[in-house]
Amino acid sequence: MSMRKTLVLVSGLLLTTTVAGALFAQSDPSDSVPGDPSDPGVSYADILRGFDDPSSWLTYSGDFSGRRHSPLTQINRENVNRLAPAWTFQTGTLTRGRGFETTPLLYDGVLYVTGSNNFAWALDARTGRPFWTYQRDLPDNLTYGRVAPVNRGFGMLGNRLFMVTLDAHLLAFDRRTGNVLWDVVLADYEIGHAATLAPLVIDDKVVVGISGGEYPTRGFIDAYDPATGDLVWRFYTIPDWGEPGSETWPNEEAAMQGGGGTWMTGSYDPELDLLYWGTGNPNPDYYGASRLGDNLYTASIVAVEGATGELKWHYQFTPHDIHDWDSNHVPVQAELMIDGEERKVVMVANRNGFFYVLDRRDGELLLAEPFTDTTWAREIGADGRPIVLNNDGSGGCLPDQWGGTNFMPPTYDPALELFFVNARETCSSYVPFEPEYVRGEATTGGVVWTDRDVEYGALRAIDVMTGERLWEFRYPSATMAGVMSTAAGLVFAGDHQGNFMAFDGATGENLWYYPTGSRIWGAAAMTYILDGRQFVVIPSGTTLVAFALPRYEFASPAGGR
Amino acid sequence: MQRTPGTPVKLLAIVCLAAPLHAGAQVSNPFEGDARAIRAGERLYANRCAACHGADGKGATGPDVTMLWLEGTNDEHVFQTVREGVDGAVMPPSFAPDEELWAMVAYLRDISTVPPFDPAGGDAGSGREIFAANCAQCHRVNGDGGTLGPDLSNIAAVRSREALIGSIRDPSETVEAGYRTVTLVAADGERIEGVVKGEDAFSIQVVDTDARLQGYLKANLRRFVHEDESLMPRFGRLRLSERELDDLLAFLGTLREDASADR
């Protein structure tokens, strides 16, 4: 890591912070969020700039590419071992059975954070002190929202924040006060729906998805008008009966309750105007006999036009899935030189244990290699379909129902051309049976037997050109924690024992760790720089913890506020 | 709510054959011990509960539900818990018909109950002495004894006779979670044997054979090895005759009676 680079970056940021500081001075910071009352807030152009301004973080993955790769280099391989907690925010709300899965957004020195049980906060990004707290009054007959009372973050545009809820609504807030501006219903929560993802704001649209694929539901992606909350378009992940794709279901009834949730934030290519979105398991999860066929577009990635919601292409990772292997992952974009030609690609490390590279213009499969050791399938055939060796686990280990990885964000470092993912090595077998349908009850349709003695987790570095594993770092159990990388060549990861860790991305050497005291579950770190000091933030248990180098480690340009 | 045509409601059909519920002071399970209801309950459980409580009821994200009766619950209480869910926790309420709930209760009760074993022949008094001489250094009963192995006060209620004999004759066959053996070699070459209480990527928490609780940083160890063998010695026939084993089991069986009398 070159010293000069850091200096340039810091002095570049000096300008930004001075401007922000000037705005700040004009307002009274005591009750609501600071700022110029005439500040129009976040523009779409700001979101498009993504990581160009590392003193903000305006969309779930930091930018539209889904890479979660920050340009910040103040914290680097040499000094990361001196990283220390700068502040801790106690949310006071417990996520039973799941995790604190959010990624905060940062704008003008304020972190906007969603929490479990539909709490939300605006926090001073330098101290973790709250400006406002919101808690939604939820009905007591939640369905999936009770099983997974989680939320993964806000979307943001202008002075508005957007958040989905466990009773399957979409809300718009005034970021300065936390007041709700509008509230629209996405779907009927009483039949099994909930909403948990971070909305993705694209040009004049708030794009959201839905949870509930364990119930007799039909998944969709929706786009809403950020000003009014009016529905602009809806894309159903299971086609209307008679439309292309519906022939992969035995009958209309099975299709219309066939699941295919869209509960993880996608990525977006503004030039192609294509949204890349993962779709969930077919319903019932483990019982396939009532839904013979491929069950499109479940367990797939869909490329949907931002303007219209029209499907451009799809690729199904797990045809006719019977393992609850949702494909709800962050699709990660990159530009790769393949056979002398620059290809715009989208990459997915899938719950089924394979790492895929697809051309993101047309969905052509460029690479598919296993990144876990299980025996479900070891190769993808020329027709793009897995060559299944062992579909129920009777012939060796299958990934459990949580998969070879899950929705926790991976990261991609374009300088190293390495994709980093927390892999889960588990050993399960699946016994299906015909389920009963009861309103408001999940219809899993089977039992999963897992040998808990042999599982482990591992952070793995995958060479995106070959799919080969370059290195791994093992944890004693399978993890659900996400990963972030920075231009300093660092990879930040969490594990199930609660360690928050930094690695040398090139070698896999562990450089630093901090035991947070609670498993890191479903969340990846985010990072930003304020007043010349780089912070790294991770949700863990009921807390949000920010790390930074001790102040004496670097010259504080403004001397603090 | 959609019900697929041609998906017959088999489970309901089975359980509805039995008698309707009676009103009474303490509602008892109309399907108690009914083999068909238990089978139906097993499937319902697998479908709706196993994801959280484990396919074998031994717990996953939700707690172990095979010890409920042992801990002094009754059928009605379990029924109500399943009906209402647990407030403030992820345990959901159930909207399913009463019959289905009772079938699940019958199933849970079935897997929770270990038949009391016949102490015939065994002399509990002699068993107590054998225990004191051979086992108490590692196992507590009713508050006395060592801490390297699990507390055995309640063991006869939660393990079958066969399982207990297996644990005593061949301990390494099944090693209890929380009591896995580890061997550590410290930087100075010292060897430490113990059972693993906790572990992460960087450290390991051990109770050693001197019953000392000690944490170690993996980076400071020369090596550490997870062993397949139990730290409990094998008690083969030379060490513990069939007669002595019977006495020991009779002793452990009386503890079970003492324990349930307390409730």
* Chain A residues lying within 8 Å of B89, measured CB to CB: 96
Report the pLDDT value the prediction gives residue B117, as an integer from 0 to 100. Answer: 65
More confident residue, A522 or B31: A522
Q: Evaluate if residue A53 carries a pLDDT over 60.
A: yes
Report how far residue A295's alpha carbon sits from residue A307's, in angstroms, rounded to the nearest whole number: 26
Report how far residue A534's alpha carbon sits from residue A547's, in angstroms, rounded to the nearest whole number: 8
Report the pLDDT value the prediction gives residue B85, as an integer from 0 to 100. Answer: 87
Report the pLDDT value the prediction gives residue A447, as an integer from 0 to 100. Answer: 80
Lowest mean pLDDT segment, chosen from A80-94, A136-150, A438-452: A438-452
- State which residue of chain B sits closest to A436, comparing Cα positions: B9
pLDDT, chain A, mean: 92
Report the pLDDT value the prediction gives residue A526, as an integer from 0 to 100. Answer: 98
Phi, psi (5° rounding) for residue A500?
Answer: -105, 125
pLDDT band at A15 (very low <50, low <70, confident <90, very high): very low
- Strand A483-486 and strand A69-70: pairing? parallel
* Chain B residues lying within 8 Å of A439, measured CB to CB: 1, 95
Q: Is B115 exposed, middle or buried (0-12, 13-18, 19+ CB in 10 A)?
A: exposed
Supply A365's token pair: 């499969």
pLDDT band at B27 (very low <50, low <70, confident <90, very high): confident
pLDDT band at B175 (very low <50, low <70, confident <90, very high): confident
The mean per-residue pLDDT over the stretch B79-90 comes to: 84
Q: Evaluate if residue A473 carries a pLDDT over 70.
A: yes
Report the pLDDT value the prediction gives residue A489, as an integer from 0 to 100. Answer: 98
* Chain B residues lying within 8 Å of A450, measured CB to CB: 55
Inter-chain CB proximity B2 and A433 less than 8 Å: no
More confident residue, A510 or B59: A510
In the numeric block, the tokens 């994709």 are attached to A419
Q: Evaluate if residue A347 carries a pLDDT over 60.
A: yes
Q: What digits encode the pLDDT tens for the residues A270-290?
A: 999 999 999 999 999 999 999
Q: What's the order of all strands across the beta sheet hosting A160-164?
A: A155-157, A160-164, A169-174, A180-185
Q: Evaluate if residue B56 carries a pLDDT over 50.
A: yes
- Count other C-beta atoms under 10 Å from residue B167's C-beta: 22
Catalytic residue chosen out of the listed positions A285, A324, A495, A531: A324
- State which residue of chain B sits closest to A431, comparing Cα positions: B46
Alpha-carbon distance values, A9 to A71, A347, B77 (Å): 9, 29, 64
* Chain A residues lying within 8 Å of B100, measured CB to CB: 436, 438
Give the CA-trace dihedral at A318, A320, A323, A327, to 10 degrees. Answer: 40
Q: Evaluate if residue B9 carries a pLDDT over 80.
A: no
Report the pLDDT value the prediction gives residue A383, as an integer from 0 to 100. Answer: 96
Report the pLDDT value the prediction gives residue A244, as an integer from 0 to 100. Answer: 97
Report the pLDDT value the prediction gives residue A39, as an integer from 0 to 100. Answer: 87
Supply A255's token pair: 């299709």
Please name the residues between 88 and 107 in chain B that touch chain A, using a CB distance below 8 Å.
88-90, 92-96, 100
Please list, in sequence order, all residues whose beta carbon lies within 8 angstroms of the beta carbon of residue A39, skipping any fewer than 6 positions away.
Answer: A23, A108, A159
The mean per-residue pLDDT over the stretch A425-446 comes to: 88
Supply B19's token pair: 């008698």
* Chain B residues lying within 8 Å of A495, measured CB to CB: 200-201
Report the pLDDT value the prediction gives residue B6, as an integer from 0 to 100. Answer: 33
Q: Evaluate if residue A464 carries a pLDDT over 80.
A: yes
- Count other C-beta atoms under 10 Å from residue A561's C-beta: 14
pLDDT band at A165 (very low <50, low <70, confident <90, very high): very high
- A117, A436, A514, best to mutate vs chain B, most B CBs in 10 Å: A436
Phi, psi (5° rounding) for residue A420?
Answer: -110, 130
Report the pLDDT value the prediction gives residue A560, as an integer from 0 to 100. Answer: 40
What whole-number percentage of chain A has pLDDT above 90?
83
Supply A452's token pair: 């808990």
Asked if the structure places residue A294 within a domain, the reply is: yes
Asked if the structure places residue A480 within a domain, the reply is: yes
Angle A440-A446-A447 from CA coordinates, rounded to 5°: 115
| H or E element that contains A379 | strand A377-380
Q: What digits encode the pLDDT tens for the residues A231-266?
A: 999 999 999 999 999 999 999 999 999 999 999 999
Among candidate residues A350, A346, A265, the one with its CA nearest the CA of residue A299: A350
Q: Residue A435: which of B47, B200, B202 has the nearest Cβ?
A: B47
Q: Residue B2: which of A257, A434, A513 has the nearest Cβ?
A: A257
Please list, in sequence order, all residues whose beta carbon lies within 8 angstroms of the beta carbon of residue A123, skipping any fewer than 6 positions away.
Answer: A89, A104, A110, A111, A112, A113, A129, A130, A131, A544
Domain that holds residue A8: 3-553
Inter-chain CB proximity B201 and A476 less than 8 Å: yes
Inter-chain CB proximity A434 and B46 less than 8 Å: no
Q: Residue B3: which of A437, A442, A474 has the nearest Cβ?
A: A437
Q: Are A499 and A83 in contact (CB under 8 A)?
A: no
Inter-chain CB proximity B201 and A191 less than 8 Å: no
Q: How many domains does chain A have?
A: 1
- B2, B7, B42, B47, best to mutate vs chain A, most A CBs in 10 Å: B47
| H or E element that contains A144 | helix A144-147
Inter-chain CB proximity A436 and B11 less than 8 Å: yes
Asked if the structure places residue A300 within a domain, the reply is: yes
pLDDT band at B16 (very low <50, low <70, confident <90, very high): very low
Report how far residue A303's alpha carbon sits from residue A306's, in angstroms, rounded to the nearest whole number: 9
- B4, B61, B218, best to mutate vs chain A, most A CBs in 10 Å: B4
The mean per-residue pLDDT over the stretch B138-150 comes to: 93
Please list, in sequence order, all residues whose beta carbon lies within 8 angstroms of the beta carbon of residue A196, skipping any fewer than 6 positions away.
Answer: A101, A145, A148, A150, A151, A152, A164, A166, A211, A263
Report how far residue B41's alpha carbon sits from residue B75's, in angstroms, rounded to the nearest whole number: 14
* Adjacent-strand bridge partners of B235: none
pLDDT, chain B, mean: 82
Please name the residues between 471 and 510 in chain A that touch chain B, using a CB distance below 8 Å.
473-476, 495, 497-499, 501, 510
* Chain B residues lying within 8 Å of A475, measured CB to CB: 200-201
Inter-chain CB proximity A476 and B200 less than 8 Å: yes
Among candidate residues A124, A115, A183, the one with its CA nearest the CA of residue A152: A115
The CATH architecture annotation of domain B124-171+233-262 reads Orthogonal Bundle (1.10)
CA distance A1 to chain B (A): 26
Supply A333's token pair: 């974009």
Please tell me if residue A270 touches chain B, with a CB cutoff of 8 Å.
Answer: no
Q: What digits encode the pLDDT tens for the residues B38-47?
A: 888 888 898 8
Supply A285's token pair: 């999860």
Inter-chain CB proximity B96 and A443 less than 8 Å: no
Please name the residues between 70 and 89 in chain B that touch chain A, using a CB distance below 8 Å.
85, 88-89
Q: What digits encode the pLDDT tens for the residues B86-96?
A: 876 678 888 78
The mean per-residue pLDDT over the stretch A136-158 comes to: 95
Ordered DSSP codes for chain B:
----TT---HHHHHHHTSPPPPP-SS---TTTT-HHHHHHHHHHHHHHTHHHH-TTSS-SSSPP-SSTTTTT--HHHHHHHHHH--TTSS-----S-HHHHHHHHHHHHHHHPPPPP--TT--HHHHHHHHHHHTTTT-EETTEE-SSSPP-TTHHHHS-HHHHHHHHH-GGGSPPTT-EEEEEEETTS-EEEEEEEEE-SSEEEEEETT--EEEEEGGGEEEEEE-SS-SSPP--TTTS-HHHHHHHHHHHHHHHHHHHHT-
Do B124-171+233-262 and B181-226 agree at the fold level?
A: no
The CATH architecture annotation of domain B9-112 reads Orthogonal Bundle (1.10)
Report the pLDDT value the prediction gives residue B17, as an integer from 0 to 100. Answer: 33
Inter-chain CB proximity A448 and B7 less than 8 Å: no
Chain centroid offset of residue A112 CA? 16
**Catalytic-residue membership of A225:** no
Supply B227's token pair: 């062993």
Among candidate residues A467, A484, A415, A447, the one with its CA nearest the CA of residue A5: A415
* Chain A residues lying within 8 Å of B93, measured CB to CB: 141
pLDDT band at B116 (very low <50, low <70, confident <90, very high): low
* Single-letter amino acid, residue A177: T
What's A442's domain CATH number?
2.140.10.10
- Strand B191-199 and strand A428-432: pairing? unpaired
Ordered DSSP codes for A66-128:
---EE---SS-TTTGGG-EEEEEEE-----TTS------EEETTEEEEE-GGGEEEEEETTT-
Report how far residue A406's alpha carbon sits from residue A349's, in angstroms, rounded to the nearest whole number: 8
Q: What digits encode the pLDDT tens for the residues A174-206?
A: 999 999 999 999 999 999 999 999 999 999 999
Supply A237's token pair: 């992940």
Inter-chain CB proximity A97 and B62 less than 8 Å: yes
* Residue ranges covered by each domain of chain B: 9-112, 124-171+233-262, 181-226
Inter-chain CB proximity A438 and B1 less than 8 Å: yes
- Count other C-beta atoms under 10 Å from residue B10's C-beta: 12
Report how far residue A13's alpha carbon sits from residue A507's, in angstroms, rounded to the nearest whole number: 30
Lowest mean pLDDT segment, chosen from A155-159, A447-451, A495-499, B4-8: B4-8
Q: Is B201 exposed, middle or buried (0-12, 13-18, 19+ CB in 10 A)?
A: buried
Report the pLDDT value the prediction gives residue A110, as an integer from 0 to 100. Answer: 98
Inter-chain CB proximity A498 and B200 less than 8 Å: yes
The mean per-residue pLDDT over the stretch B251-261 comes to: 68
Please tell me if residue B201 touches chain A, with a CB cutoff of 8 Å.
Answer: yes
Please tell me if residue B4 touches chain A, with a CB cutoff of 8 Å.
Answer: yes
Among candidate residues A432, A509, A422, A419, the one with its CA nearest the CA of residue A466: A419
Q: Residue B94: which of A98, A441, A513 has the nearest Cβ?
A: A441
pLDDT band at B120 (very low <50, low <70, confident <90, very high): low
Asked if the structure places residue A559 within a domain, the reply is: no
pLDDT band at A325 (very low <50, low <70, confident <90, very high): very high
pTM for this entry: 0.84
Q: Give exposure, A69-87, as e/b (b: 16+ Cβ within 10 Å).
A: bbbbbbbbbebbeebeebb
Report the pLDDT value the prediction gives residue B184, as an integer from 0 to 100. Answer: 96
Report the pLDDT value the prediction gives residue A555, as an integer from 0 to 100. Answer: 55
Inter-chain CB proximity A147 and B7 less than 8 Å: no
Report the pLDDT value the prediction gives residue A431, as an integer from 0 to 100. Answer: 85
CA distance B6 to chain A (A): 10
Q: What digits encode the pLDDT tens for the residues A535-551?
A: 999 999 999 999 999 98
Report how far residue A194's alpha carbon sits from residue A138's, in angstroms, rounded to the nearest whole number: 12
CA distance B173 to chain A (A): 14
CA distance B143 to chain A (A): 30
Report the pLDDT value the prediction gives residue B66, as an integer from 0 to 100. Answer: 84
- A96, A257, A496, best to mutate vs chain B, most B CBs in 10 Å: A96
The CATH architecture annotation of domain B181-226 reads Roll (2.30)
Report the pLDDT value the prediction gives residue A97, as an integer from 0 to 100. Answer: 77
Lowest mean pLDDT segment, chosen from A74-83, A388-397, A536-545: A388-397
- State which residue of chain A sits closest to B46, comparing Cα positions: A447
pLDDT band at B112 (very low <50, low <70, confident <90, very high): confident
Chain centroid offset of residue B37 CA? 23
- Count other C-beta atoms under 10 Å from residue A94's C-beta: 16
Asked if the structure places residue A558 within a domain, the reply is: no
The mean per-residue pLDDT over the stretch A400-411 comes to: 96
Q: Give exposure, A193-223, as e/b (b: 16+ Cβ within 10 Å).
A: bbbbbbbbbbeebbbbbbbbbbbbbbbbbbb
- B90, B197, B218, best to mutate vs chain A, most A CBs in 10 Å: B90
Supply A282's token pair: 């077919």
The mean per-residue pLDDT over the stretch B115-124 comes to: 75
Q: Is A391 exposed, middle or buried (0-12, 13-18, 19+ CB in 10 A)?
A: middle
